[in-house]
Amino acid sequence: MKHWIWLVAWAASAQTADTIYYNAKIVTMWGTKPLAEAVAIRGNRFLAAGSNAEILKLAAANTQKHDLSGKTVLPGLIDSHVHPIGAALSEQDGPVPVMRSIAEVQAYLKKLAATAAKDKVLFVPKIYSTRLQDRRYPTRYEIDAAAPDHVAMTDNGYASVLNSKALAQLGINRNSPQPANGKIIKDEKGEPTGLILGAPQLLGRFRASRPATDADRLWALKAMHKKYNEVGFTSVIDRGQGPEGFRAYQQLAQRKELTVRTTVTYLLNAQGKPEEVRREIERIPFVTGFGDDWFRVGPIKTVADGGILIGTAYLREPYGEHTDIYGYKDPDYRGVLSVPRENLVEMARTANRLGWQMTAHTAGSGAIDVLLDAYEEANKDKPIGGHRFTVTHGNFPSEEAVDRAARLGVAFDCQPQWYYFDGPALAPVFGPARMKRFQPLKTMLAKGVVVAGGSDHMIRFDSRDAINAYNPFWGMWMTITRQTVVGTPINPEEALTREQALRLWTLNGAYLAFEEDRKGSIEPGKLADMVIISDDFLNCPLDRLKDIEALVTVVDGKVVYRR
């Protein structure tokens, strides 16, 4: 009600436009007026949208008028899952090549070794066996051959391959016991192959071999936001920061140097006893919603399981016999539940009590079930619906899980890149029955679950070669076609319409940030965020959707990018 009172008063005092864009095809996502020819902006908000004749009447002598000659305009796009600081820092020393085979990984390591000091750890990030043509990880001996004089490793955050020098430094050998939260993979002779799944406590020393400075983080944010503007992003949700990351956002916000509105997720490890988890949350000096239209506190998050790309996501049932791609054989293995069930329950109950939104990385079907169990327990204290608790990733939700999410008001933060890039490699592992539950987006929307579209962007600046590719038009095309990298679809019956796909990257992304009344559509009173694009989104041939580019990106009524 307050929003509408403010809107009426604002509209009455703002009858002329500062800027008008006209002669366009505007897809507004505004329920009462889905299409328009022109839009007027006053200050940092949309004043009106409608026909050319209606909107041009709002021009004054000093109004800037832009004839778009039939180009398409969309609301500012929102990626619900990015890691911009880490993504930029991955290329702080120069571009990281796209590596699609073990031979290319070796070539990159040789290049690093040629100029690196002998005491420097050679670190190759985000290597997944599902994305290598070899359909396996390299061995310690293959890394030894590429970098014999250095400690070297490949890593994706959940699985790492260490060379012999790295294993020796960590004291890992044939006699090393298996960690409770992962696997040290050994060959038929009992020797470590170099592959370690999970067990982050073993690898933290090397992963933190180059700590970022405050200046590094500020550079990273500004540099990546510029790239996000170039693809039409006006808002994102950063899915995992600690105090240092929050300070970087705060500094740029105070300097008025942000060009992407960001909701920032506070990451917890949620280990120890349940009461320790509760106290950790209680010590955080803010809560979801604190901030402004540029920098706002989002949910608290933990990492509840491993990953489907590495065979450690926590499943309802064992992975089975076809796990060669992951580098292990264990027909009874279900993956890793890295946060105890009781800790997730305490986290959810505390979040609900204090007013936090909550989410958790839950890649496997079993982890989704455990997270929803925790949400159910919190809901018994008081309804959680108003807090918009979320499932992050949620790649294989059962029918029961989707129904529970709908009943509880739980949203999903999904990334179609997983089935596009990795579906063909995962199909032999999971089998036809389980693959039928791979991101059932159409079913989820039909049952009333709010699904937001994102990328889980982690590495590289380039929007299409990044891990994961964050180009929003390519992502929308994936949800509309259900195509995979090999050209065949996965579950085509779950394909979305163009309007549904656009909603995932606009209003639904805004919903996850509690801001659907402020952004996500082009309508009077909302923040003036929009993007002018290179093709007709609603009517161009389907295959051209993925190639659409942003021509002009407008945030807060100002042009922040022009192609």
Same domain, 68 and 99: no
Query: Whole domain around residue 158: which residue ranges?
Result: 94-125+137-207
**In this structure, is residue 342 part of a structural domain?**
no
| 479 found inside a domain | no
Nearest to 235, CA basis, from 251, 258, 252, 218: 258
Q: Which CATH number characterizes residue 121's domain?
A: 3.10.310.70
Predicted confidence (pLDDT) at residue 12 exceeds the cutoff of 70:
no
Whether 146 and 201 map to the same domain: the answer is yes
211 confidence band (pLDDT: 50, 70, 90): confident
Q: Say if residue 105 is in the same domain as residue 24.
A: no
Residue 34 to residues 45, 75, 132, 189, 499, Cα–Cα distance (Å): 18, 11, 43, 65, 10
Is the pLDDT at 537 greater than 70? The verdict is yes
Residue 7 has pLDDT above 80, yes or no: no
Q: pLDDT value at position 14?
A: 52
Same domain, 37 and 121: no
Query: CATH no. for residue 545?
Result: 2.30.40.10
Both tokens of 310, joined, read 């590495």
* Number of domains forming the structure of the chain: 2
What is the average pLDDT across 456-476? 97
Q: Measured on CA atoms in the order 411, 27, 229, 155, is the torsion positive or negative?
A: positive
Among residues 151, 180, 207, which one ends one of the domains?
207
Residue 329 lies in a domain: no
Percent of the chain with pLDDT over 70: 97
CA distance 256 to 554: 16
Using CA atoms, how far apart are residues 356 and 286, in angstroms rounded to an integer? Answer: 9
For residue 9, pLDDT beyond 50: no
Same domain, 66 and 109: no
Find all residues with CB under 8 Å of 415, minimum gap 6, and list them. Answer: 81, 393, 453, 454, 455, 456, 468, 475
Higher pLDDT, 200 or 281: 281
| Segment 19-76, tens digit of pLDDT | 999 999 999 999 999 999 999 999 999 999 999 999 999 999 999 999 999 999 999 9
DSSP assignment of 410-469: -EEEE-THHHHHHHHHHHHHHHHHHHTTS--HHHHHHTT--EEE---B-B-S-TTTSBS-
Question: Does residue 399 belong to any structural domain of this protein?
Answer: no
Rounded to the nearest 5 degrees, what angle is found at the Cα of 149, between the Cα atoms of 144 and 152?
Answer: 55
Model confidence over 378-430: pLDDT tens digits? 999 999 999 999 999 999 999 999 999 999 999 999 999 999 999 999 999 99
Does the pLDDT of residue 13 top 50, yes or no? no
C-alpha of 246 from chain center: 17
- pTM score > 0.85 for this model? yes
Which residue do the tokens 């327990």 mark?
377
Residue 148 confidence (pLDDT): 94
Query: Residues of the chain with pLDDT > 90: what percent?
Result: 91
Q: How many CB atoms lie within 10 A of CB 258?
A: 21
Name the token pair of 121: 């750890």
